[in-house]
Chain A
Amino acid sequence: MKKLISVFLLLALLLSALPASAEGVVNVYNWEDYIDPAVITLFEQETGIKVNYMCFTTVEDMIVQVEANPGAFDVCFPSDYIIERMIRNDMLAEINFDNIPGAAQTIDYLRTPDYDPEEKFSVPYMWGTVGVLYNKELIGEPAKSWATLWDKQYQNNVIMLDSFRDSMGATLKSLGYSMNTHEIPAIMAAKNKLIEQKKSGVVKAYQVDETKDKMVAGEAALALMWSGDAMYAIDLNENLDYFVPEEGSNVWVDCAVIPKTAKNKENAEKFIDFLCRPEIAVMNVEYICYSTPNKGAIDLLGEDYTGNHVQNPDTAVLEKCEFLHDIEEKFLSIYEAMWMEVKNTK
């Protein structure tokens, strides 16, 4: 009898550890710190669907995990060029947009994007730009151009991003090339320009995560930065401001997608639709500080959002911006080698 009870208990334990029933869960895989936790609670309360929420820190990591654990994730949040790669590798399921009426709220600028031209696989979640964060108190109003980052009057005052797609991309843009160029002379010119920048003594440091705190502390006057991080820094130090250079820059989008191997596709669609509700999108924008693709949310936020040039950049600027594309591996090796040459410059 004792044996029977223990077997029964063991079974009960095993069953409870398994995901409840197929309609009861949705497995969400998002960037670290990239949702208002209250949104998850609200979704669970309203639908009764349990959210298994998991996080990643780099998209490269995410793609490896999705490949290695088929069926483990129902909703993921990759960036534009990763979506392009996932579509090419046949990793994404076509979304049934009848279940996501909220997707119609997407702003026109992000409709039919070039990473998903037929809008079959992705629903935009957050977006932003790459630009320059600067300290008004230290340097006043600089020229709104990439050339500012090369200007010798800002000696030892510029923090560059230790990330080759961003730093090389900004340099390519400043030279009038595409950030996604496969032209070898262009890549070489960008390398030389970055080496020149380092040798001239303008660069103080090459960093990623530390940059925003350093800018808040007034450690440097200028930094190459993502708009969301810039917004975070500006909230903490009112002397900071941000611009997207007039030559154009990079616009990036993180979207909700459903992997082909997803087990709870309908729940995934319900979850994505929930995120598209204007009130919910507002909660997330206020929590994360990036830009929202949701028209309804923009209306709700009103002047606070539309008047904010960091979150809501000028259309004239946006027209000159471009998405990052997945660079072919062989060209990527040139980018990587040249970035290493820059880093190795003394």
Chain B
Amino acid sequence: MRANLSLPWWAWAAMGAGLVVFAVMIGLTVKRNRGVHRSLFASPYTLWMIVFTVIPVILIGYYAFTNASGAFTLDNFKNFWDSNYESNKVILDVMGEEGAAYITRGTVNVDTLVYSLWMAFKCTVICLLLGYPAALFMADRNMKLGATLVVLFIIPMWMNFLLRTIAWMSLLEDSGLINTFLKWLGFEGVQLMYNSEAVLLGMVYNFLPFMVFPIYTVLSKMDFRLTEAAADLGCNSLQTLVKVTLPLSLPGVISGITMVFMPSVTTFFIPRVLGGGNTMMFGDLIESKFLTEGNWNVGSALSLIMMLLILLSLSILRKVDPNGEGGGIA
């Protein structure tokens, strides 16, 4: 393990200073209000956020811009662009000019990022196509089944997603339930697993509720008299959907897209279980940098690039939904 767990003194000092500032601010609030002010009730959560969100992000930033011995470097980002950056240096170092034949730009990191974005895009589109009608149905007050459907959507979420993903494995395997059933019926078995389609299925299954619920929330709060008015004024049901319901539910859609797209890009574990490790997503790549290679510096640089991409997509979505009506997630 090459991880450099020891931080320079100033990193510890900065973390300590942060906590001191936090304590001083609490003290000042108490003093200014001559007692307990309600903003103090937020302090446990603020402390939680400082310790488990702010400091880790700072650490990621620190590792991303330093090398194993703690000196400033941009090599980790060059490593993102050329995954063979380090090894090419070694090859030239050891073999001299002869080594030139073995030098290639490694496209692993960039390829994996592009693949992850593409998979996340497909997952989001499928979730939207499946989720919007489902939300529409659930929110329809004339449907008695709506409430039952909401419960049915929630029940699987009571279980850990890792367990649910492993359960899919025992369904899809060559020797799994579906294939056993097909063979029992006398059909040929089909290979359902170990490919990107199975990974996509796992992602859609896991992230679909995050698309349905924001849309459902917005739709169920919508004033249904508006659709009745539209019908009275001569819209057929398709026109009502396109011209009234859809625009009004847009904040929920935006929120759903964000909540599905972001975790999709960072998916890991699903490719290993359902894809048989044949394809990697960006989350798997970051995991292997940290855990298998013990290279926290490159792992942090990759995480930072990931976070920047997510921030970018958030800021674009914020332009579409400036009032944060879809739950303000975007």
Residues of A within 8 A of B (CB): 60-61, 63-64, 68, 156, 162, 164, 184-185, 188, 198, 203-207, 210, 214, 217-219, 329-331, 333-334, 336-338, 340-341, 343-344, 346
Contact = CB atoms under 8 A, between A and B. Distances in A.
Contact of A207 (B90, B112, B174, B277): B277
Interface in B181-206: 191, 194
Contacts of A185: 102
A133 to B, nearest CB: 16
Contact of A337 (B83, B93, B175): B83
Contacts of B3: 64
Contacts of A207: 272, 276-277
A340 B108 contact: yes
Contacts of B276: 204-207
Contacts of A184: 91, 94-95, 99, 102
Interface string B1-15: 111010000000000
Interface string B87-109: 10011011100010010001110
B293 A336 contact: yes
A343 B94 CA distance: 25
Main secondary structure of the interface of B (DSSP, over half): loop
A207 B273 CA distance: 9
22 contacts: A60-B1, A61-B1, A64-B1, A68-B5, A184-B91, A184-B95, A188-B102, A206-B277, A217-B173, A217-B175, A218-B175, A219-B173, A329-B2, A333-B90, A334-B91, A336-B87, A337-B83, A337-B86, A340-B83, A340-B288, A344-B112, A346-B279
The CB with the most chain B CB atoms within 10 A, among A61, A184, A188, A329, is that of A184
B87 A338 contact: yes
B123 interface: no
Interface of B: 1-3, 5, 83-84, 86-87, 90-91, 93-95, 99, 102, 106-108, 111-112, 173-175, 191, 194, 272-273, 276-280, 288, 292-295
The CB with the most chain B CB atoms within 10 A, among A68, A330, A333, is that of A333
Contact of A219 (B87, B107, B175, B280): B175
A344 B280 contact: yes
A60 B91 contact: no
Nearest to B277: A206
B99 to A, nearest CB: 7
A163 B102 CA distance: 23
A346 B280 CA distance: 10
B102 A162 contact: no
A337 B84 contact: yes
| Leading 5 A-B pairs by shortest Cβ distance | A205-B276, A206-B277, A337-B87, A334-B87, A60-B1
A210 B174 CA distance: 14
B94 to A, nearest CB: 6
Contacts of B83: 337, 340-341
B32 to A, nearest CB: 39
B200 to A, nearest CB: 15
A171 to B, nearest CB: 17
A184 B279 CA distance: 26
B294 A60 contact: yes
B191 A156 contact: yes
